[in-house]
Structure 1
Amino acid sequence: MARCAALLLLLLAASAAAAAAAAGRKEKAGEKVCDKGWECSGSRFCCNEAISDYFKAYQFEELFAHRNDAQAHAADFWNYQAFITAAALFEPRGFGTTGGKEMGMREVAAFLGHVGAKTSCGYREAPGGETAWGLCYNHELSPSQSYCVDSNELYPCVEGVEYYGRGAIPIYWNQNYGIVGKGIKQDLLNHPELLEQNATLAFEAAIWRWMTPMKRKQPSAHDVFVGNWKPTKNDTSSKRYPGFGATMNVLYGDAICGQGSTDKMNFIISHYQHYLDLMGVGREHSGDNLDCDDQVAFNPSSENSDF
């Protein structure tokens, strides 16, 4: 009788475990770990919505309405699937999956706002306005130099290779191609042209930069945007606070920030807010600390070559 009862308990336990698995969840060390949907290897963001759940192909088309026009210099290069494929690599780290659906949509709009502004060939009188022409380029058309720093021993210039701007958030200089290439496991130092040949890699390099601090004890653009970063006293005295403005500081430093209300800064902000509108979030949810006009740079250009 006791053996039958024990067997019944085992069967009930097995049934409960199967039900939990069918629901896409399992218990592990007292914590719920999701194994449903996109691959995440136990990430705490595993059960959150993936970007493709709330950001669809038609929205990508609306954000980048003229990218395949005859006037676009990278026509037929950029596409929704390339972005989604690259983004999926970073969703387990929180890209677009942090803080709920609205925050995820805001982060996608923020990231793509930088992409749109940095690859735009738009102007005020252009059809659809200046914010409708993102992803017009995938590389710098008329480089003024080869962007080689001969003194860098870790990532030395390769003979015959030029390190002008390429990608979704353009990369410049040999050391930066080396750093990002190491991050995404691609030999960009020897083959920077990959970023103008493969749209998925171009998005992957840009998202890696968004998610990765450039120096120790500094935040990433992702962290300052989603609220993971807590400013120190030095940050607050330098007028650096969480928000979209600080993402510009992380990515561009004093090339954009600390210069007052400039056209270059406002051009990036306008793309972010326009994309929020198109994604149905609305620019009224842009968040605090939208600009960086009086922020001191995290990394002054005198100390580090700009990306």
Structure 2
Amino acid sequence: MSRQRFIAFLTALAVAVGLAVLVPFASTASATDCAAAWSSSSVYTGGQTASYNGHNWSAKWWTQGETPGAADVWADQGGCGTSSGGTGGSTGGSSSCSYPAWVAGKSYVTGDIVQYSNGSDYIATHDNPGYDPTISTWYWSPYTCSGGGGTTPPSNGGFVVSEAQFNSMFPSRNPFYTYAGLTAALSAYPGFATTGSATVQKQEAAAFLANVSHETGGLVYIVEQNTSNYSHYCDTSQPYGCPAGQSAYYGRGPIQLSWNFNYKAAGDALGIDLLDNPNLVQTDPAVAWKTGLWYWDTQTGPGTMTPHNAMVNGAGFGETIRSINGSVECNGGNPAEVQDRVNAYENFTSILGVPAGSNLSC
């Protein structure tokens, strides 16, 4: 039996009896070779490496089940798989990419990418509660990481909005809101601005940034300006309470994340303890952007769909406003605020060279 098969046998045996799998240190690889693919069931300790989404990642400390790129326990070591003999980079076909294994009954959102047991990759085309990718063609589509059957999730520099375009959108932005922080956050939700046609991708990016611009005064404000509201965002009925303090969960970041339960939910989804460390949203640009993408991709708010779904499924920019502020602005609640968001969206789509589409208001 080869060494590789022997390790695989021991790993399978450990999983079968309920033991955590401790991954042996990966062999040294060149800058362009991929380490062994990351596994959600495996245990990694500080210094161990794994490949995921065409990048090598190094664990900073002990971790299990925390997705590289979505949790700060992992340090990005750069792209891999571009040299001859690479194993798992983004230049090969579907089998050379590393995506999480599909899990029956697990909730997925539009844009999530999984690997099925047949070795093929699939991208969620609609939110679903874990339907089988090979049966449900409405909820899943075949995906090829090289671009043959899908769109490669962006890495740093691969965003549909260039840094120059970003700077022109936000000429007076606070230096905290960096372009690098935004592109570093994209790996948390690979379906964002990569789903649908090139036009739809740019429209979604423009829609997100337009709402962000409205919420932050053009990316000027990092925290909520009305300090008298700060103590109101602690829902003491939650079993976990407000461990960071009664007034710790005020609005922060590009979508102005607020309330203890939202910090808890966003932190759980991102693999970051935001309930105990809410200040990360105002001190770490990548974390701040990730919380904005978390809301955009996973929360319906007062609307009926996520803002992400509104843009990729043709509901229009107006539905993103409804999902963010609902009746406070929509249905005549505050038409001036709605128009400010629409103006920003039309400006940003113009910068990106795409039409704004229909259903702009709510």
Q: What TM-score comes out, normalization by structure 1 length?
A: 0.66
Q: Of the candidates 136, 148, 156, which is equivalent to residue 233 of structure 2?
A: 148
Per-residue CA deviation, residues 52-100 of structure 1 (Å, 9 max, x unaligned), is 2532111111111111xxxxxxx32111111111113212xx2111112
Structure number with greater Rg is 1
Q: Of the candidates 86, 90, 100, which is equivalent to residue 185 of structure 2?
A: 86
2:249 pairs with 1:137: no
1:165-180 to 2 correspondences below 5 Å: 165-180=251-266
Structure having the larger proportion of residues in helix: 1
Provide the aligned length of Structure 1 versus Structure 2: 228
SS in 1 for 2:227: coil
Structure having the larger proportion of residues in strand: 2
- Contact 2:184 2:286 survives alignment (8 Å): yes
- Contact 2:299 2:306 survives alignment (8 Å): yes
Alpha-carbon distance between aligned partners in 1 of 2:211 and 2:324, rounded to the nearest angstrom = 9
- Contact 2:213 2:344 survives alignment (8 Å): yes
SS in 1 for 2:332: coil
Percentage of identical aligned residues: 29
Displacement of 1:113 in angstroms is 0.7
Residue in 2 that maps onto 1:279: 352
- Contact 1:147 1:174 survives alignment (8 Å): no
Residue in 2 that maps onto 1:64: 170
Flag as ranges the 4+ runs of structure 1 deviating above 4 A.
Answer: 34-41
Per-residue CA deviation, residues 121-151 of structure 1 (Å, 9 max, x unaligned), is xxxxxxxxxxxxx111111133222123444
Instruction: Tell me: CA distance 1:265–1:81, structure 2 relative to 1, closer, same or farther (3 Å).
Output: same
Alpha-carbon distance between aligned partners in 2 of 1:181 and 1:249, rounded to the nearest angstrom = 24
By relative contact order (CA 8 Å, sep 6+), the higher-ranking structure is 1
Displacement of 1:153 in angstroms is 2.0
Residue in 1 that maps onto 2:289: 203
Question: Structure 1: 5+ residue runs without aligned partners?
Answer: 1-17, 27-32, 68-74, 121-133, 229-241, 293-307
Instruction: Tell me: CA distance 1:190–1:287, structure 2 relative to 1, closer, same or farther (3 Å).
Output: same
Q: Which moved more, 1:56-65 or 1:138-147?
A: 138-147
Question: Structure 2: 5+ residue runs without aligned partners?
Answer: 1-84, 101-112, 115-120, 124-142
Alpha-carbon distance between aligned partners in 1 of 2:205 and 2:253, rounded to the nearest angstrom = 17
Instruction: Tell me: CA distance 1:155–1:275, structure 2 relative to 1, closer, same or farther (3 Å).
Output: farther
Displacement of 1:36 in angstroms is 7.0
Displacement of 1:218 in angstroms is 4.7
